[in-house]
Structure 1
Amino acid sequence: MSLITAEERDKLFSTFKQEAFHLELQDEYHVSIEDGPYAKWLSGEPDDFAWFRPWLEQVHALATTGKTIRRVRVVSEPVTDYIRWELALTPMNHEAGEDIRWLPRRRLPDGFRFPAEGHDWWLFDEDTLAVTHFRADGRFDGAELITDPAVVGEAVQVRDRLWSLALPYADYRP
């Protein structure tokens, strides 16, 4: 399996035509750019969100051209501090144009199976799946690009099913 870097994966945001969809399955992430802001949030310190602005600006630019960015976060309850932090940030995502829904694991149908061996993934235009692989310490290791129509088709079906089960941000109360 060949993995690409985060930077290489992120180039897909400049080439997709209609929609990018992100499935998040972890209850905690270890992202270098978030380490400081998350620690500040945990200690109640203010944040200027300079670290978050590039993403928000990118989402806004894409949304103004009619492109869609959606995300489903499948979460355990009670939620972790990290998920509470993500909940606190979500209004900024929405304001920029990203639609995020929340799905408590308890609402998953019995026997529900995630494609890509239960890894997180980005689905671009229903033809490219960028599967996230993490190192043992929880940090990003790389993304595996999959264009096999059968695997991508399964991801499309899972996206649609989870989207219909997930709760809009305004309705989710952990």
Structure 2
Amino acid sequence: MHDATFAELLAATERTAVHLEMRDSYAVGDEADDFSTFLRTGIPNLDPTRSFWPQWMPLVQEAVGRGVVMRRARIVSEPVTDYIRYEHAITPLNLEAGEEVRWLPRREASTIALPGNDFWLLDDTVVQFHHFTGTGDWAKDGRERTTDPAAAAAALCRTAFEKVWERAVPHAKYTP
């Protein structure tokens, strides 16, 4: 399980896949061109055949088609950064793929015990933490995974995500 790709992990997921994002800016290379264009024009690239979407959308669609509930929550500072405006503008593609997405203003998260890093939690047992540099790009050891369902990490992530989800605003109702 530790050497499996995320696509393999998601293919083995049976019930739930939740993702918590807590940064106000990411600088991952596969978004650089689209983000730059958005900054210049204010127009998001919503073409599902471009950028990283041709790899991501089929993974989500296949999982959701098998009955996996995929939820993504984003904790954001307000006023939002340019990156969050961009992320909000391209979220319709996440929704089209089958994800549910909610947004939580950071001030609403003050009383939630949160892990120190973004994560995926699959079937309440597999946790994949994401590590980023200070500038928002993937760190050298960008992913850390644990598969022990009794581990404190799984319990913390499960509880944190559910608390965020219950307080968060559905994408269609959130205005950055």
Q: By how many angstroms is 1:53 displaced?
A: 2.7
Cα distance in 2 for residues equivalent to 1:15 and 1:46? 32
What is the CA deviation profile of residues 59-86 of structure 1, one whole-angstrom value per residue up to 9, with x for unaligned ones?
1222112111111000000001110111
Match status 1:156 vs 2:158? yes
Secondary structure, counterpart of 1:90 in structure 2? helix
Structure 2 distance, partners of 1:172, 1:137, is: 26
What is the rounded CA distance, in whole Å, between the counterparts of 1:10 and 1:73 in structure 2? Answer: 21
Per-residue deviation, residues 81-108 of structure 1 (Å, max 9, x unmatched): 1101111111121121000100001112
Uncovered stretches (5+) of structure 1, i.e. residues with no partner: none
Distance 1:33 1:81 in 2: 17
Deviations along 1:102-129, one digit per CA (max 9) or x if unpaired, are 000111244x3212xx210000110011
Return the offset for 1:139.
1.3
**2: CA distance, partners of 1:161 / 1:114:** 10
Aligned length: 167
SS in 2 for 1:161: helix
Aligned counterpart in structure 1 of residue 13 of structure 2, from 10, 16, 35: 16
C-alpha root-mean-square deviation of aligned residues, in Å? 2.0
Match for residue 43 of structure 1?
40
Note the residue ranges of structure 2 that are not aligned, 5 or more in a row: none
Query: Is this contact kept in 2: 1:41–1:85, CA < 8 A?
Result: yes
The residue number in structure 2 matching 1:169 is 171
> Where does residue 95 of structure 1 map in the other structure?
96
Q: Is the 8 A contact 2:14 2:67 kept in 1?
A: no
Check 1:46–1:86 CA distance in 2 against 1; reply closer, same or farther (3 A cut): closer
Question: Matched residues in 2 for 1:80 and 1:136: separation?
Answer: 15
Q: TM-score, normalised by structure 1?
A: 0.87
Worse-superposed segment, 53-62 or 27-36: 53-62
Give the CA deviation at 1:46: 6.9
TM-superposed CA distance for 1:136, in Å, is 3.8
Residue of structure 1 equivalent to 2:114: 114
Taking structure 2 as the reference length, the TM-score comes to 0.86
- Asked if 2 retains the 8 angstrom alpha-carbon contact of 1:9 and 1:143, the reply is no
2:44, 2:90 within 8 Å by CA — same for their partners in 1?
A: no
Which stretch of the first structure deviates more once superposed, 57-66 or 18-27? Answer: 57-66
Q: Distance in 1 between matches of 2:109 and 2:162?
A: 13
1:114-133 matched pairs, under 5 angstroms: 114-115=114-115, 118-133=116-131
2:18 match: secondary structure? strand
Q: What amino acid maps onto 1:139 in structure 2?
A: D
